[in-house]
Amino acid sequence: MGFPSVRPRRLRRTTGLQRMVRETTLRVDQLIAPLFIRHGEGVSRKIVSMPGHNQLSVDMAVREAESIAELGIPAVLLFGIPAKKDALGSENFDPEGIVPQAAYAIKKAVPELVVISDMCCCEYTDHGHCGIINVPGVPGYDERLAEGYLLNDPTLELLGKASVVHAQAGADIIAPSGMMDGMISTIRSALDNAGMEHTVIMSYAAKYASAFYGPFRDAAESPPGFGDRSNYQMDPGNAREAIREVELDVEEGADMLMVKPALAYLDVIRQLRDRFELPLAAYQVSGEFSMVKAAAERGWLDEQRTAMESLTSIARAGADMIITYWAKDAVKWMR
Ligand code: PBG
Ligand code: ZN
């Protein structure tokens, strides 16, 4: 008798006790659902590497947005596949571009749904990089820099312009994802000067150069045509640098912060949560989704349990909001 007298298992004996002491429960309010929009009508094109997800034309995206809102999910994140790509990614700042069209149509059909626009050039540029590439003839060409280097300041100008266009079309939140220096202050002043001072900026503040984006590049048709993104996205080994990136974005006026990817960077989420007061999002990226899907198809993992465990862990690490390709499934699983 008497040994052991301290028995943590007492609190795990029944599901009632488990429910009472559970520290983290995923909430519907935390979820953000990504959507991929392309031109056309009645289009729903399977994304092979992301089972269950499709590139949708605006009309179909509106229907999908309605079903997302019906489930109680508060927000969608829009990505666009342009009609044509060029060196500057012109469709990104075209008021008739695919994301402005979608933002307008979704806000009209489902006004209460928060529309977030992923603000970057890589879906729109013919070279697939997140801004203007240094080659003779482009705006801001700099002969001191290597050919092919991503030009920071000329890119900022495009991001400011495109952000205003997307906000005027109806986007509630602009989410710059290109990891350009100064992108937050540039976008903030562009929005303010255009009278869009109520538009929120969610910064992809700590975005790593990650292999987990693989399936997304398929979904958004945006793989870099040469090289990789390691001279603008962060090195996976760095956590202090994430704090530095966030400090800058806070100073520049970000309203919300983000860490991306999520599962491989839970320590970064926790550190940022403990250190900063702004709402914090985590992006459970395409690879985090597809690797579980693939293993589940083989019967090696239980999709629902693996997905919910990952989502709960991301919330436990400190994320207030979670962008996830399981958003709709998660709501059903939570019921
Ligand atoms: C664009 C962007 C990417 C993702 C979100 N915005 C791709 C990249 O940076 O290469 C990845 C999302 C995902 O993998 O789900 N800058
Ligand atoms: Zn990009």
Torsion angle (degrees, nearest 10) of CA 122, 136, 184, 79: -10
Comparing C-alpha atoms, which of 211, 271, 215 is closest to residue 246?
Answer: 271
- The token pair at 272 is 């940022």
- The token pair at 56 is 């949708």
Please give the distance, rounded to the nearest whole angstrom, from the Cα atom of residue 87 to the centre of ligand 2: 14
State whether residue 173 is helix, strand or coil: strand
**DSSP letter string over 281-305?**
EEE--HHHHHHHHHHHHTTSS-HHH
For ligand 1, atom 6, which residue shows the shortest CA distance?
Answer: 177
Asked if pLDDT for residue 65 goes beyond 90, the answer is: yes
Pick the CATH number of 25-334 from 3.30.420.40, 3.20.20.70, 3.40.50.300, 3.40.50.1460: 3.20.20.70
Report, in angstroms and rounded to the nearest whole number, the Rg of the chain calculated over CA atoms: 21
Domain ranges of the chain: 25-334
- Express each pLDDT in 156-206 by its tens digit: 999 999 999 999 999 999 999 999 999 999 999 999 999 999 999 999 999
- Express each pLDDT in 66-119 by its tens digit: 999 999 999 999 999 999 999 999 999 999 999 999 999 999 999 999 999 999
For ligand 1, atom 5, which residue shows the shortest CA distance?
Answer: 177
State whether the beta carbon of 118 lies less than 6 angstroms from ligand 1.
yes
Comparing C-alpha atoms, which of 27, 53, 56 is closest to residue 42?
Answer: 56
What is the residue whose two structure tokens read 């993992």?
Answer: 301
Please give the distance, rounded to the nearest whole angstrom, from the Cα atom of residue 295 to the centre of ligand 1: 22
State whether the beta carbon of 216 lies less than 6 angstroms from ligand 1.
yes
CA distance 325 to 83: 24
CA distance 188 to 167: 11
> DSSP assignment, residue 195?
T
What percent of the chain has pLDDT above 70? 100
What is the residue whose two structure tokens read 């997140």?
Answer: 130
Asked if pLDDT for residue 313 goes beyond 90, the answer is: yes
Q: Residues with Cβ within 5 Å of ion ligand 2?
A: 120, 122, 130, 178
Mutate to test the pocket of ligand 1, among 36, 78, 177 (most ligand atoms within 8 A of CB): 177
Side chain identity, residue 25: T
When the pLDDT of each residue in the chain is averaged and rounded to a whole number, the result is 97
Please give the distance, rounded to the nearest whole angstrom, from the Cα atom of residue 257 to the centre of ligand 1: 16
Catalytic residue among 85, 207, 293, 328: 207
Asked if pLDDT for residue 56 goes beyond 70, the answer is: yes
Asked if pLDDT for residue 1 goes beyond 80, the answer is: no
Please give the distance, rounded to the nearest whole angstrom, from the Cα atom of residue 290 to the centre of ligand 1: 14
260 carries an active-site annotation: yes
Please give the distance, rounded to the nearest whole angstrom, from the Cα atom of residue 91 to the centre of ligand 1: 18
- Express each pLDDT in 260-307 by its tens digit: 999 999 999 999 999 999 999 999 999 999 999 999 999 999 999 999
State whether the beta carbon of 285 lies less than 6 angstroms from ligand 1.
yes
Catalytic residue among 84, 108, 161, 260: 260
**Whose atoms come closest to the Cα of 118: which ligand?**
1
207 carries an active-site annotation: yes
CA distance 3 to 318: 36
Strand partners, 35: 78
Side chain identity, residue 203: S
State whether the beta carbon of 117 lies less than 6 angstroms from ligand 1.
no
Comparing C-alpha atoms, which of 164, 163, 160, 162 is closest to residue 194?
Answer: 164
HSE-up of residue 167 (Cα within 13 Å, Cβ side)? 25
Comparing C-alpha atoms, which of 78, 82, 84 is closest to residue 98?
Answer: 82
Residue 218: the pLDDT is 86
Phi, psi angles (nearest 5°) of residue 316 = -60, -35
